[in-house]
Structure 1
């Protein structure tokens, strides 16, 4: 069972240790994801270069691979970074943004999974289903499916590639070979701010740097993400102020706030 006390302990550890989270991410979200990591207490680093990625990975405590605006040079950098991370025992969190929309957005994530490089796979339902073999085409990077519909695909991917699979949606699912956790925090307005899903990937990565049970790390990251969003909505007048409020709540997150998280193990 994941208690608010345990999440608070890990959050304090992030703030004390300031783990470096290296991001090979997309050009749309670099600012908000870096700011989310800083607000949480972690230290972000960004690169797209295959010429420095192995050096930076050696300095990091977690590695994020985000397929939001893929190009072949970046994919090669992801290969180098992920291979190095696995050798060093650094967790790799993969966000297959838009999986199913193009061949590259399926082939590259599947390559990383098949090579055993991925510790945590985090995507929306349509993305997880696409990697699980669904022939449905997503609408850009948005999900056309509820998270519950992706449960079987998540279980199959987790079992086959020995990684934790996190499906974001109205209710988040965090899946391992033999467990399913649900996280019931968040607000629909969060979908109106670009990069919020990518932020959740980064928060999951930050928690994976201090919590080596990756099922728990993923659930913690998603709960903190959702909780910050739903609290920020209370003061927001729209998506713009939500984004600002979200960062402020992450920065101010305390033990009392964490009482509002909802993580449950399914039976």
Structure 2
């Protein structure tokens, strides 16, 4: 996997994939900065009139319903249709799933539209699989381990790679009769004190999916990149403001070898 990290990282940097972000209004700046630092090109094209056409020229699409409205839902549906018609991978970040009924029903309604990846916290993934009620707003009240059955169920249902972020990240894939699940030990608790780290991770996943041919490796590499940047930033900065700047710098500076050496993959033997 070390060589895959390096090659996936360099693929993002050399290809500079165009990533369409239909995301919440709180994190647009952070998400754009993360993509630029990683080497991708962000575009916040989210209106219903343009989102579908733009998704056909973008190389990856993020769907994040963190601050939804009727117009944003329409734009997301248009973008998903455009992405699917062009074979563009799209990522679902189910922000707040289970906490509020209307957004949860929207997310459930698009699960059949073939997301390439689903990325959320443990409570969101559990709620999306209809196995739980969700967390406290956008915060998880469940541990990552508790989300393993739900993640596998979602992967089987949708064909997507499913990632659960937390104290250690869980990434699962179901392909044919084969199932794979790993824990990625990476990152730093300081990431939880900076706005947009989770939401921008969804965009980074889309960038890696656009640049790298193996979806599982792409999702894993995106999480490793984010986690490694958090570790680098936390090594010198111990308060959220300075950490946020150092984290963006680290996303820009890290190469594939550094990313690979900063995290540890734990295979889950029986899933």
TM band (smaller chain)? over 0.9
- Paired with 1:254 and 1:166, the residues of 2 have a C-alpha distance of 22
Deviation at 1:223, TM superposition (A): 0.7
Deviation at 1:112, TM superposition (A): 1.0
- Residue number in structure 1 paired with 2:241: 240
Q: Secondary structure at the match of 1:173?
A: strand
- Residue number in structure 1 paired with 2:26: 28
Deviation at 1:99, TM superposition (A): 0.5
Within-5 A mapping of 1:26-105: 26-105=24-103
- Residue number in structure 1 paired with 2:169: 172
- Residue number in structure 1 paired with 2:226: 225
Deviation at 1:255, TM superposition (A): 4.0
Deviation at 1:256, TM superposition (A): 4.1
- Residue number in structure 1 paired with 2:268: 266
User: What's the CA shift string for 1:71-102, capped at 9, x where partnerless?
Assistant: 11111111111111111110010000010111
- Paired with 2:38 and 2:47, the residues of 1 have a C-alpha distance of 26
Relative contact order, higher structure (CA 8 A, sep 6+): 2
Deviation at 1:48, TM superposition (A): 2.5
Note if contact 1:101-1:137 (Cα within 8 Å) is conserved in structure 2. Answer: yes
Deviation at 1:137, TM superposition (A): 4.2
- Paired with 1:86 and 1:223, the residues of 2 have a C-alpha distance of 27
Give TM-score scaled by structure 1 length: 0.95
- Residue number in structure 2 paired with 1:149: 146
Q: List 4+ stretches of structure 1 deviating above 4 A.
A: none
Q: Secondary structure at the match of 1:179?
A: strand
Note if contact 1:224-1:261 (Cα within 8 Å) is conserved in structure 2. Answer: no
Establish whether residue 185 from structure 1 lines up as the match of residue 182 from structure 2. Answer: no
Q: Secondary structure at the match of 1:209?
A: helix
Higher mean C-alpha displacement, 203-212 vs 32-41: 203-212
Give TM-score scaled by structure 2 length: 0.94
Number of aligned residue pairs = 264
Q: Secondary structure at the match of 1:28?
A: coil
- Paired with 2:103 and 2:168, the residues of 1 have a C-alpha distance of 24
- Paired with 1:117 and 1:236, the residues of 2 have a C-alpha distance of 40
Note if contact 2:20-2:60 (Cα within 8 Å) is conserved in structure 1. Answer: yes
Note if contact 2:98-2:128 (Cα within 8 Å) is conserved in structure 1. Answer: yes
Establish whether residue 124 from structure 1 lines up as the match of residue 121 from structure 2. Answer: yes
Deviation at 1:47, TM superposition (A): 2.3
- Paired with 1:137 and 1:248, the residues of 2 have a C-alpha distance of 33
Note if contact 2:126-2:134 (Cα within 8 Å) is conserved in structure 1. Answer: no
- Paired with 1:111 and 1:255, the residues of 2 have a C-alpha distance of 37
User: What's the CA shift string for 1:33-87, capped at 9, x where partnerless?
Assistant: 1000000000000023011112211221100000110111111111111111111
Q: Secondary structure at the match of 1:6?
A: helix
Note if contact 1:232-1:242 (Cα within 8 Å) is conserved in structure 2. Answer: yes
- Paired with 2:132 and 2:147, the residues of 1 have a C-alpha distance of 13
Higher mean C-alpha displacement, 132-141 vs 214-223: 132-141
Give structure 1 stretches of 5+ with no counterpart. none
Note if contact 2:96-2:134 (Cα within 8 Å) is conserved in structure 1. Answer: no
